[in-house]
Structure 1
């Protein structure tokens, strides 16, 4: 019999039968037997899949397609006779690989520090005595004790339970705790058996005693973890795109190399060997050596900025993938909502009250018709608050360190405690004046809980709260305007209408009633003989407390941003259909026309039906773990880039399958965090939106960088083309070493600065980039090769002839060597450098004016500009270096010419952008 079948059997067996089958007793195992079983079953831990070794993770940073291209380029450079260049290219590759590995290592360290483990200690019976044991030592057959606040360390069968409520949201996604008791009730849905409790869940209220039936990877928690670990993460879209870009650039570089090789033979009549070396130099010149460092820097800076916005990214490439996200599958509880049940209405037969303030903090009050009320002057309100507060086992404590509330009990009862605090009710005094003398715990048959209190020597009071339908039938009377009278059919209809109204709004109603009983002389005997039937009969109905888990305040703006960015949000929750749709409509996630699909309906849908349904407005409620996975995978088949959020074990498979898995850092389980690509340290959906903006910024910056470095390739190639196609009549205006000086020297720092550019205005008003879009798209090619590149080519060519005209050309032939030739090539180099100053500024935005984002707002670009000017000056003025790079000291007029170059290029581009904005009708606030 499988473990799953055994669990099903244990649920229906009696406690004695379960203990007998597990070969244990109500007072647990002996220490010797426990050690024997520990050897047999292993530690009670969730085993992680063996990840790749550190060495493999390290080597991966040096073996990407672009990295391999740089290794080859280094060999080519050395083979062509430029040893220094080859070493420089290799150093770029090595430094980038080390930097990328370090970033990933730091992210992993931060993630590991967040991992929440299963409870450390548990009260276990060993050798008949209750001992505190490490939870990892528990074995099947161990008997252990539980109380409110405890995490459950194993799958177990209850053998004793008192008022037990269990928060199973980590497994089911359902925010409302499940009542647990010894008697078997199958319940509704998965993990709903009344007498089985599961590892990774938490005791919200009550106490109990249980026997372990499964530990470690045999628990439901462990099974889902194992399912998650079997999945392999697909290559990120950015990694795929970089490979594609590498192939594009390789084809361009090799194509140009071949063209120049052929031209140098046929037009200049170079020997084959010399032509080959010349062609190799051009190939190296067209390979963007700075691409990998810029990608790593852009991603790392995105990671840093996202960390400040409460999003911890584990893998650098995940940053950019966020920017491509087209659909977010989001959990509801704690992500879209505060995970703090709050009473917002109180209904009595005569009045409806509004309760202000949200969450587990006493920062509101009770209003009637917009005016604050004193509950002491409102008989029904005062009675309802008294019943709700006295019939309550939960405590709400404020953490002294961070001010956040700590709940010892259930969310529902916590909401009632906060209601009492807002009403100014002194619960401590009330418990002292009217002590609890007996209680009848909640169970799923009655769907109510009752407590008996001593009012005075002559009177006992029964306080009852629970399901309306199960309480109102027990009521003979109703309190209205401070008086008690028989309840009528009209009263029952009014109560039902109110409850229906709240239910349609996705709110949860809890009924309150009470009864006073004359105290007998032998009160203890009276209490011993008092039955549930007697206590919960002939009740007086008081009213309804109406509650909900309120949306996060910042969620409205976050959802609006997603819609503006054409990102679809699909709620996938374990909560009820009514609650899910109510919240979705309230926060603007969907319209009221959205289709709600339950887990049962989803199970019956074919893949084609689901694919079609996912194209419209849809909400998923009451879904099981494997169904979340199914939703994500179907969306991916529809061509979507999917981000999926979650905190529970049940979310882990979907988190692993998604393009971006987003786990909750505060409430998330270790399995969810391990499966995710990103962890929200504040569990806030708004942090996902901020992270998406960073992802889009990273991709935009990579395109800006690419435009910038490709731009300089055009003025580098044009002088060589002039030399070749003039048959050598125009001496080579720029040497290979000067070309490589631009690529590996002057261009590098401004390009890295572009990689750190902040988001442009309006970037979140654009749709996600198409899945088949590429970094080097038509816009990049047009700007780099046909706009910026041609302008820079014209300027650099003019600079070459500017020097030669000053020295007698065309009356005398163009100099092919000597001082004039060195000055002419130096001016070509300088013209490209100073053109790139303007191009660096122009590339900072796509359509927005640079003035709008701040001319000096990106200091890294300006540091790069200053560096390239200093480097150029160093190359022209330093003996020894001049010979290597064929440069010379320039004249004053040359420097004036060079410093004048950036101004017209910058202004011309700003004019073009202004015309573009006018043509497209883009306002200054929505520029992208």
Structure 2
């Protein structure tokens, strides 16, 4: 927060320098501002009064300037030190009373006794609110009545600052002789809002709080992901609208809706409003809660960010409350479901991406396991039902024969369901997860589309496995086979293992080609290669042949097994291509409230 402009009755003062180091110079109309200039005195008074009605602290430690308290209040302490001789004036005043700031009042006041004994009341707050408590205007060393024309001019100054994306705070004061007898001790009588009347309006400051450079790209990425960004702020509507336009939250002709308008709306009207309005300004804490509730009543999933105590109810009500880890209060952190360690909106968007990748990997894991297991189930089922057609019955001299032995099924589960499945859990992003709309509230992890893919892939795995056995068995659908049942079963067994391993690459995406990002997951490749080596071992080593009922295969067998297993890849590629051709984007958006 940095005060860059001070506007008084006599003109405008620009202050250079950014951050909390009180280094900069004052200029007006492009030239240096002299101390004998009346405008200089008015700017000094505005910044000095704002520094007195203030609870922040500014200090230098090891050459670095640091603040304690609200950054907006600290901006006054920094700016007042940029005007020579102004900072020392605060030492002449001692605070004797305070009317604290609140979001409902949007202003605060403090009473101070000057060393000469006079008591003054200093106030600062939202300019439009503060002006309602003012009856006079400071011009140089004199005060004049704040008539309608001067009031309109002051409001126009506020609008000009707001249109330039400044946050605005007005400053006012008045002599308070009725507080003359306040002791200033711990038992001093409290002053209250009744003392905030007949104030003298001194001027307004323009505070720049530039968005982080990464904010606009993050918002654009969120919009592409179907996430709607809503800005709720206490700023002036013009300031809020200007910042929202700069960030891409609203279009160039978009506006900010004042919070006062919400008071006149019933729940249905508010629900209709939040569907189209994305910027709310000059809001009270209860407005935030009503907006969140209205969005949820409209079927939206809402993430709400906040840092103050007043934000806690809305964070608690939201589906995901996000508290600021640096500037957030403990109350807010306790109410939230997530704490943002760096207070950076871009981190929220990054977390959305990571969350979608994790969920994608869970679906990949499930898809792969169900692909391969469905293949095993259908292989055994169809192998028994169509045993006569495939030549299995003839090979067993008319008896019932299983296409796979129990030990072979266990081996398939060991090889395919362990390493490749675990590698799916660390699979990098294949599809652009931020280019798709959010999932619906009632969407299932295993949806209809996945079940169709499971059924198709499982059927293809079983067909290529059984046909491989038929190729090498005498009789059946494919004539010419001369091998024994053990060799044919081993070939089918090997084909099923290879098909399951190949399916791991198919399962990485429901729509993208298996060749996209083919080599991006080294763990998956390692698991697949290990599976191939283990399968070769269980077929070739005599001790394992005895244990798993396998027989040695020659080069023709291995080549046939690999070729038949690869059909799983090509059939799935054709199916995915068809999905990409006919698929249409489905419009859906969640609401994220910032």
TM-score, normalised to structure 1's length?
0.48
Q: Secondary structure at the match of 2:428?
A: coil
> d(CA) in 1 for partners of 2:138 and 2:47?
20
Check conservation: 1:435, 1:453, Cα contact below 8 A: no
Check conservation: 1:746, 1:871, Cα contact below 8 A: no
2:228 maps to 1:568: yes
C-alpha distance in 1 between matches for 2:520 and 2:23: 41
* Residues in 2 aligned to 1:494 and 1:759: alpha-carbon distance in whole angstroms: 56
Change (3 A) 1:680 1:541: closer
> Of 272, 290, 304, which aligns to 1:644?
304
- Separation in 2 of the partners of 1:657 and 1:491? 44
Q: Does structure 1 conserve the Cα–Cα contact (< 8 Å) formed by 2:48 and 2:80?
A: no
Matches within 5 A, 1:618-637: 631-637=291-297
Structure 2 residue matching 1:617: 3-state secondary structure: coil
What pairs up with 1:752-771 in 2 under 5 angstroms?
752-771=422-441
Instruction: Work out the CA distance in 1 between the residues paired with 2:90 and 2:328.
Output: 39
In the other structure, the counterpart of 2:491 is: 827
Residue 751 of structure 1: aligned partner: 421
Whole-angstrom CA distance in 1 between matches of 2:144 and 2:297: 63
**CA deviation profile, 1:451-506 (whole Å, cap 9, x unmatched):** 9699xxxxx9x998857747782535479xxxx99999987764453234335767
How far residue 843 of structure 1 moved from its aligned partner, in angstroms, is 2.4
1:678 is matched with 338
The whole-number CA distance in structure 2 between the counterparts of 1:634 and 1:587 is: 24
Instruction: Give 1:891's match in structure 2, choosing from 549, 554, 565.
Output: 554
TM-score by length of 2: 0.72
1:802 corresponds in structure 2 to 471
Structure 2 gaps of 5+ residues are 100-106, 176-198, 393-400, 586-594
Deviation at 1:695, TM superposition (A): 1.9
Tell me the distance in 1 between the aligned counterparts of 2:558 and 2:109.
88
Q: What is the alpha-carbon distance in structure 2 between the residues aligned to residue 808 and residue 921 of structure 1?
A: 41
Matched, 1:842 2:506: yes
Change (3 A) 1:356 1:736: farther
Q: Find the residue that maps to 2:550 and give its secondary structure.
A: coil
1:789 paired with 2:452, answer: no
| Cα distance change of structure 1 residues 774 and 607 upon mapping to structure 2, 3 Å threshold | same
Contact 1:708 1:839 in 2 (8 A): yes
Q: 1:843 to 1:672 in 2, by over 3 A?
A: same
Secondary structure at 2:339's aligned position in 1?
Answer: strand
Larger displacement relative to structure 2 (732-741 or 604-613)? 604-613
Of the candidates 126, 147, 156, which is equivalent to residue 497 of structure 1?
A: 156
Give per-residue Cα distances to partners, 1:800-831, cap 9 Å, x unaligned.
2333369998478x87xxxx333322222221
| Contact kept? 1:733, 1:824, Cα under 8 Å | no
SS in 2 for 1:473: strand
Q: Which whole-Å CA distance do the structure 1 matches of 2:581 and 2:134 have between them? A: 67
Counterpart position of 1:859:
522
Cα 1:631–1:491, aligned 2, differ >3 Å: closer, same or farther?
A: closer
**1:865, distance to aligned residue in structure 2 (A):** 1.0
Contact 2:379 2:463 in 1 (8 A): no
1:407 aligns with: 67
Q: Is the 8 A contact 2:361 2:427 kept in 1?
A: yes
Q: What does residue 616 of structure 1 align with?
A: 276
CA distance in 2, matches of 1:701, 1:488: 67
Residue 67 (structure 2) pairs with residue 396 (structure 1): no
CA–CA distance in structure 1, aligned partners of residues 571 and 478 of structure 2: 30
Cα 1:358–1:759, aligned 2, differ >3 Å: closer, same or farther? farther
- Deviation sequence 1:744-798 (CA, Å, 0-9, x none): 4323221222232233453212211122322222321232222x33443343233
Distance 1:669 1:875, change over 3 A: farther
CA contact (8 A) 2:256 2:278 kept: yes
Mark the CA change 1:840 to 1:446 in structure 2 (over 3 Å): closer, same or farther.
closer
SS class of match (1:868) = helix
Moved more, 618-627 or 756-765: 618-627
Cα offsets for 1:684-714 (capped at 9, x unmatched): 2222221112222222222222222222234
Paired residues of 1:652 and 1:672 also in contact (CA < 8 A): yes
Q: How far apart are residue 351 of structure 1 and its match? A: 5.6
> Counterparts in 2 of 1:338-357, with a 5 A limit?
341-347=1-7, 352=12
What is the match of residue 364 of structure 2? Answer: 704
Cα distance, 1:895–1:627 mapped onto 2, change above 3 Å: same
**1:393-792 correspondence to structure 2 within 5 Å:** 394-397=56-59, 406-408=66-68, 410-419=70-79, 425=83, 436-438=91-93, 466=124, 469=131, 473-475=136-138, 477=140, 494-502=153-161, 507-511=167-171, 544-547=204-207, 549-572=209-232, 583-590=243-250, 596=257, 598=259, 601-602=262-263, 606-617=266-277, 631-726=291-386, 730=392, 731-786=401-456, 788-792=457-461
- In structure 2, relative to structure 1, the CA distance for the partners of 1:657 and 1:894 (3 Å cut) is farther
Verify the 8 A CA contact 1:598 1:623 in the aligned structure 2.
yes
Shift of 1:734: 1.6
Task: Give the distance between the partners of 1:775 and 1:885, measured in 2 at CA.
Answer: 36
Q: Distance in 1 between matches of 2:501 and 2:28?
A: 67
CA-atom RMSD, angstroms? 4.9
Aligned partners of 2:477, 2:134: CA distance in 1, in Å?
A: 108
Cα–Cα, structure 1 residues 611 and 492, in superposed 2: closer, same or farther, change >3 Å? closer
445-454 or 647-656: bigger deviation: 445-454
**Closer/same/farther in 2, CA of residues 471 and 709 from structure 1, 3 Å limit:** same
Answer whether contact 1:478 1:541 (CA < 8 A) is retained: no
Residues in 2 aligned to 1:656 and 1:464: alpha-carbon distance in whole angstroms: 36
Which residue in 1 is equivalent to 2:191? none
The 1:715/1:363 distance shift into structure 2, 3 A limit, reads farther
Q: Distance in 1 between matches of 2:572 and 2:238?
A: 55
CA–CA separation in structure 2 for the residues paired with 1:867 and 1:364 = 67
Q: Which one is further off, 387-396 or 673-682?
A: 387-396
Cα pair distance change 1:611/1:416, threshold 3 Å: closer
**Deviation string, structure 1 residues 197-218 (Cα, Å, up to 9, x no partner):** xxxxxxxxxxxxxxxxxxxxxx
Q: What do the CA deviations read for 1:299-325 (whole angstroms, capped 9, x no partner)?
A: xxxxxxxxxxxxxxxxxxxxxxxxxxx
SS at match of 2:451: helix
CA contact (8 A) 1:645 1:662 kept: yes
Q: State the match for 1:869 in structure 2.
A: 532
For residues 327 and 229 of structure 2, the distance between their equivalents in structure 1, rounded to whole angstroms, comes to 21
1: CA distance between counterparts of 2:162 and 2:410?
71
Gaps of 5+ in 1: 1-340, 455-459, 516-538, 923-928
